[in-house]
Copies of this chain bind each other. A is one copy, B any other.
Amino acid sequence: MTDNEVFSRNKVLTIDTMNPTVKKVEYAVRGPIVQRAVQIEKELREGVKKPFTEVIKANIGDAHAMGQQPITFFRQVLALCSYPELLNDNIFPEDAKNRARHILQACGGSSMGAYSASQGIDCVRQDVARYIERRDGGVPCDPDNVYLTTGASDGIVTMLKLLVCGEGASRTGVMISIPQYPLYSAALAELGAVQVNYYLNEEKCWSMDLSELERSLAEARKHCNPKAICIINPGNPTGQVQSRQCIEDVIRFAAKERLFLMADEVYQDNVYAEGCQFHSFKKVLFELGPQYSNTVELASFHSTSKCYMGECGFRGGYMEVINMDPEVKAQLTKLVSVRLCPPVPGQALMDLVVNSPQPGEPSYTTFMKERTATLSLLAEKAKLTEEILNTVPGITCNPVQGAMYSFPNISLPKKAIKEAKALGQAPDMFYCMKMLEETGICLVPGSGFGQKDGTYHFRMTILPPTDKLKILLAKVKEFHQKFTQQYS
């Protein structure tokens, strides 16, 4: 080889030589529309004239970025754990100091800078277990079944990784709802697993139909080996809260069809609608009796990022595994050990969530006030969003029963659909992109989550402050009417 040949080389790593499964990954929540939003923000800063003065991001469940305030107690304890010298001052209440001591004594060298056990700090897992027991009315929880994670995403990807094997018609299939949260499709694409879609029933407020599960599974069995079913409850992006009956149906279905259950329950405190209640899969599983609770394999996921905390940046979370084969559990523990441990500040925060101030403790009143205020405000905004969207001709919005999102159905004129397709864009991507350019509102098109063919949606968070949310909804209304007129 001559020097010129050496140096005129093409790259080693190109779009053609790279991992093909990575190329298949898509993640709409941070996709092209969000990238354009970031660009527009930059243009605005540089003085480019636009028909609006700011971008309103309703694309991601990022509560603090939308102005939600952190829980005072949690942040006091985190400050104490970061700089334990503060334990000697009198600026923080005693219960905050006690929690900090509780966490620090469990850290190597009493420092959040030490690695923890790969499964997570022992005492945090014990606190998580007691929290789950309280939540589920006494159903026992073994801390050995609890794994702390780097956000819920990490736990979900890890569980999927364990499940995937086989080639061709025996390749692992995983059932996910459509619409779905695109972490699932992205992880399945990356792992080369088969995504098996089951459709939520939009007419019945995004509930799950047993017959649809059966259809989906029968279809999938023709070309892959379906081994697991994922449920997000309360729903993302669809904001429904599944009924107890529905959860029971899913568990019976999983038992009958030999499916591993994955329950994404990160919105468990985000339930707003009258008559709706959060039921954990674990609790319902145990209520169905030992023939279910001793056999059905379940992994459930929680996080510090949602609920009233909204602490996304800390990447805290846990998963609980039930009825997992001990050999597989040993493999799981080994697998998580390669990444050493979840971030310790996130573990500390998870501990505070499951071990929050109790009646009689100095921080209790403030904590409850803050928690209630945040959840009440979210409930108001959920109602407001549904109501205003439903006043727009051509937009139909199911009640936002829980979580942080509305996922309204939008009617798009045929001419708009045609124009979008000519541009090679999904029609709702075309719609959302136009809305962004004209109004500064950043939503995620329904096509990023999956939807029934021929239907169109967008996902919109209910997180902006009420005054901004009202402006946003008014602008959406105005845009939709203009858009409909323009393409009619």
A residues sitting closer than 8 Å to B (CB atoms) are 1, 3, 6-7, 9, 11-15, 17-20, 22-23, 25-27, 30, 38, 60, 62-68, 70, 75-76, 78-80, 82-83, 86, 89, 91, 107-109, 111-118, 150-151, 153-154, 157, 161-165, 182-183, 186-187, 190, 227-228, 255-256, 258-260, 291-292, 294-295, 297, 309-315, 323-325, 327-328, 331, 334-335, 337-346
Contact = CB atoms under 8 A, between A and B. Distances in A.
A162 B19 contact: yes
A245 to B, nearest CB: 19
Given A30-B118, A109-B65, A256 B313 contact: no
Contact of A161 (B22, B78, B82): B22
13 contacts: A11-B297, A11-B325, A13-B162, A13-B325, A14-B327, A19-B163, A25-B335, A27-B334, A38-B117, A63-B114, A64-B107, A111-B313, A113-B310
Best-buried of A111, A187, A295, A324 by chain B (most CB within 10 Å): A111
A108 B64 contact: yes
Given A12-B258, A19-B163, A313-B343, A83 B75 contact: yes
A23 B19 CA distance: 21
A169 to B, nearest CB: 15
Contacts of A339: 150-151, 153-154, 157
A79 B70 contact: no
Per assembly, the copies of the chain total 2
Contacts of A311: 113
B13 A328 contact: yes
A460 B1 CA distance: 44
Contacts of A157: 339
